[in-house]
Amino acid sequence: MTLTLVATITALSGQTDAVEAGLRQLVSASRAEAGCLQYDLHRHQDDANVFVMIEQWQDSAALAFHQGTDHYRHFKATCGDALQGVALQPLNRIA
């Protein structure tokens, strides 16, 4: 079953540019993964520190694989301290 994930990523004040650069690198690498159907980065219109990643994965195994990739781990290692928080909303399409 296709899995949709909405990730809201909030950068600490003063860290927005670094987080955006890291997320942009993550996008290109993640889109190349076999199980990735969609991986789109957005910025909140009213708060420049808030990014929203809308992802679609072939299934939960594809998402689990993604979370173990070198590029995902690299983002966490290099940008983790620049984040205020990350909220994940896993969704299943019903209509």
39's tokens: 């991986």
Q: Please give the chain's pLDDT, 95 residues, in tens.
A: 899 999 999 999 999 999 999 999 999 999 999 999 999 999 999 999 999 999 999 999 999 999 999 999 999 999 999 999 999 999 988 88
CATH 3.30.70.100 corresponds to the domain 3-90: yes
Phi, psi dihedral angles at 67 (to 5 degrees): -70, -10
Of 22, 60, 66, the C-alpha closest to 41 is 22
Q: Residue 92: its pLDDT value, please?
A: 85
Q: Residue 95: its pLDDT value, please?
A: 86
Of 46, 45, 42, 38, the C-alpha closest to 8 is 42
Determine the residue type at 34: A
Is the separation of the CB atoms in 48 and 6 below 8 Å? no
